[in-house]
Amino acid sequence: MSKAPLTWDEYFMLQAMMASTRSKDPSTKVGSVIVDQKNHQISMGYNGFVAGIDESQLPWSKDLNEGLVNTKYAYVVHAEANAILHAPASLEGARCYVTLFPCNECAKLMASKGIKEVIYLSDKHLNRDHNVAAKKIFDLTGIEYRQFEISEGLLNKIDDHLKKLISDL
Ligand SMILES: [Zn+2]
């Protein structure tokens, strides 16, 4: 990298963004990574259907008028929930990077596991019920949360770096 290296926030949010590329959800691709107090990545996840299930039998519809059973909402596990489920170590005191502000269901899991900080990219569901409830859970359990701000030039820096790596082959 030509100039200053990435900050840990930049590095891990980019990891969460990379994790989101694995999602097959046609409308909302979310990624998450969980990091310990020494900046070691513990786990990652992205939103997707229940692991090991026959996905061809499940809908991606978001239309609740069709009934919950006929929508993705009945079968998708959120990115943060997957990261928590697959974590091989304790999450006590950990930070969670996620590309979309968590819902209240994921907030419950985070609080139960002792996650201490949430850094998010988008808060596009601001003020929806599940968003308000998640913030209430965070506030009541002392989980801090803050929005990540992409510094100008970050994506160019990554682009330059990758091109340099490839040109050195
Ligand atoms: Zn969630």
Tell me the per-residue pLDDT of 108-144, one tens digit each, with 9 for 90 and over. Answer: 999 999 999 999 999 999 999 999 999 999 999 999 9
Report the share of the chain in percent with pLDDT over 90.
94
Q: Residue 58: which pLDDT band, with cuts at 50, 70 and 90?
A: very high
Per-residue pLDDT, 5: 86
Q: Residue 3: which pLDDT band, with cuts at 50, 70 and 90?
A: low
CA-only gyration radius of the chain, Å: 17
Average pLDDT over residues 87-102: 97
Per-residue pLDDT, 168: 85
Q: Cα(155) to centroid of ligand 1, in Å?
A: 27
Does the annotation mark 117 as catalytic?
no
Distance between first and last Cα of the chain:
16
pLDDT at 14 over 80: yes
Q: Cα(57) to centroid of ligand 1, in Å?
A: 22
Report the share of the chain in percent with pLDDT over 70.
98
Q: Cα(74) to centroid of ligand 1, in Å?
A: 12
User: What integer best gives the mean pLDDT of the chain?
Assistant: 95
Catalytic residue among 10, 55, 80, 149: 80
Average pLDDT over residues 63-88: 97
pLDDT at 107 over 60: yes
pLDDT at 2 over 80: no
d(CA 87, CA 68): 29
Q: Cα(87) to centroid of ligand 1, in Å?
A: 16
Per-residue pLDDT, 154: 93
Largest Cα separation within the chain, whole Å, is 54
Name the residue among 120, 51, 40 with its Cα closest to residue 80.
Answer: 120
Q: Cα(77) to centroid of ligand 1, in Å?
A: 8
Which long-range contacts (C-beta less than 8 Å, at least 24 apart) are formed by 112-115? 113/84, 113/87, 114/90, 115/34, 115/91, 115/143
